[in-house]
Chain A
Amino acid sequence: MPLTLEIVSPARLVLSRSVDMVVMPGYEGDLAAMEAHAPMITLLRGGVISLYEGGAVTDRLFVGGGFAEITPDRCTILADDAVPVAELSPATAQRRLAEAESAWAEVDKTDVNARDAVLDRLQSTREAVRVAGAAPGQGG
């Protein structure tokens, strides 16, 4: 039985269907979930979620971070923001990165939580810029 994947963002249920495998950007490195995976809850970095069906990637979505819960037959991803990679706009990504960089310049580096939050945002926006730049045929 394939894995039931659900991706939800605060505003809506983005996607819900069965896939053979899903690769997601885990907090400590990318990880893949297939059926019969051990139950697990993980944080996500900003990055691309790839859906595999029949040995090929059928969909790629960019998430700006979030949480994932994996059980043997389900995978639930609570994404802060999920956008199909093809719809990422390099210009928006650049702007967000610039915002994150100025936030980094201003943040109180002695406040560990605030610093980490901004660092994660930097990582996520950098990744968005990289992914958006790599996606072919995308106008601003």
Chain B
Amino acid sequence: MASLKDLRGRINSVKSTRKITSAMKMVAASKLRRAQAAAEAARPYAERMSAMLSRLAGNVAGTPGAPRLLVGTGKDQIHLVIAMTADRGLAGAFNSGVGRQARTLVRRLLSEGKTVKILAVGRKGRDYLKREFASNMGEDLAMGGRKTIEFSEARDVADRVFAMFERGEFDVATVVYNQFKSVIAQIPTEMQIIPLPPPKAAADEGARAVYEFEPDEETILLRLLPQNLAIQIYRAMLESNAGFYGAQMTSMDNATRNAGDMINRLTQNYNRTRQANITRELIEIISGAEAL
């Protein structure tokens, strides 16, 4: 049995761990609020953009000169998988959830004989996927662990993806990211961004009206599609960021509670040992006195 001194040491160390995890939980909670607000604030733009896009796309989709971002290259051979994770850990299954999802996807694509390229956004996902698919890894981008995510960062990622697409380096692009469902639930999700999945038939009256275009549909689409790409990535980044803090908060909460349990157990153990020691000493004294 451990000595009293050892037990005291352990109790103290678990207590300071609990202090750290509960502080991290607080920090995550306050960051979560901001991240969640940012994710919600970005929604109107994305919604209106996809509405506008569906109106435009309906006019252009059938024509032979339709932009390739919309209709794809006509092939399905080279896939780009964009895995979006955080740069830091201590967030439960947040990073490994995306990693696992991406791994399953890549394995499936490989078994179908496709070529797969991986673009990792966020350090944790890169490390995870590198273990199995080192030869498929493209360049990767760290999220940098900044407090807020700027649109320009999403723009950089989108520009890079767009440039790869223009050079014909892939046919289909899929983003794997954590969708923010609630503070305790983040769902690893796959989202195809190139070619754009056909928009759901918008049945509202706006879709039927005849629009004028200035300059013309194609020019507008050529601008709108890359912007849309950036927006989709931006949204995924924001969701992932909010999800990260949610996951971190939950896991730190658990860790704090576990540390509390552990402290209770250790304290009980400590008290028992202390009492046993006292009892033993008493017995020694009493039996010593009786022997006289």
Contacts and interface: CB of A to CB of B under 8 A. Distances in A.
Nearest to A31: B214
A6 B219 CA distance: 23
A103 interface: no
Interface residues of A, number: 23
Nearest to B46: A10
A81 to B, nearest CB: 9
Given A9-B45, A11-B38, A41 B211 contact: yes
A42 B224 CA distance: 11
Given A28-B214, A38-B212, A39-B209, A67 B45 contact: no
Nearest to A71: B206
B211 A40 contact: yes
B55 interface: yes
A39 B44 contact: no
B56 A10 contact: no
A8 interface: yes
A43 interface: yes
Contacts of A94: none
Contact of A67 (B52, B212, B230): B52
B210 interface: yes
A106 B231 CA distance: 27
Contact of A78 (B45, B211, B234): B45
B128 interface: no
A42 B48 contact: no
Interface in A1-59: 6, 8-13, 26-28, 38-43
A39 B212 contact: yes
Given A11-B41, A11-B42, A78-B49, A27 B214 contact: yes
A43 B219 contact: yes
Contacts of B151: 10-11
A69 interface: yes
A106 B291 CA distance: 102
Contacts of A41: 52, 55-56, 211-214, 220
A13 B230 CA distance: 17
Contacts of A40: 211-214
Contacts of A67: 49, 52, 220, 223-224, 227
B215 interface: yes
Chain A, interface SS category = strand
A12 to B, nearest CB: 4
A123 interface: no
A76 interface: yes
B214 A8 contact: no
A54 B213 CA distance: 29
A27 B215 contact: yes
A43 B223 contact: yes
Contacts of B213: 40-42
A43 B220 contact: yes
Contacts of B231: 10
A40 B209 CA distance: 9
Contacts of A6: 44, 48
Q: Which 9 A-B pairs have the closest CB atoms?
A: A12-B41, A42-B214, A10-B151, A40-B212, A39-B209, A8-B45, A13-B44, A39-B211, A8-B44
21 contacts: A6-B48, A10-B45, A10-B230, A11-B42, A11-B45, A11-B151, A12-B41, A12-B42, A12-B45, A26-B214, A28-B214, A39-B211, A40-B213, A41-B52, A41-B56, A42-B213, A43-B214, A43-B219, A69-B48, A71-B206, A78-B48
Given A10-B154, A28-B214, A78-B49, 15 more contacts: A6-B48, A8-B44, A10-B230, A11-B45, A12-B41, A12-B45, A13-B45, A39-B206, A39-B210, A39-B212, A41-B211, A41-B220, A43-B214, A71-B206, A78-B52
Interface of B: 38, 41-42, 44-45, 48-49, 52, 55-56, 151, 154, 206, 209-215, 219-220, 222-224, 227, 230-231, 234
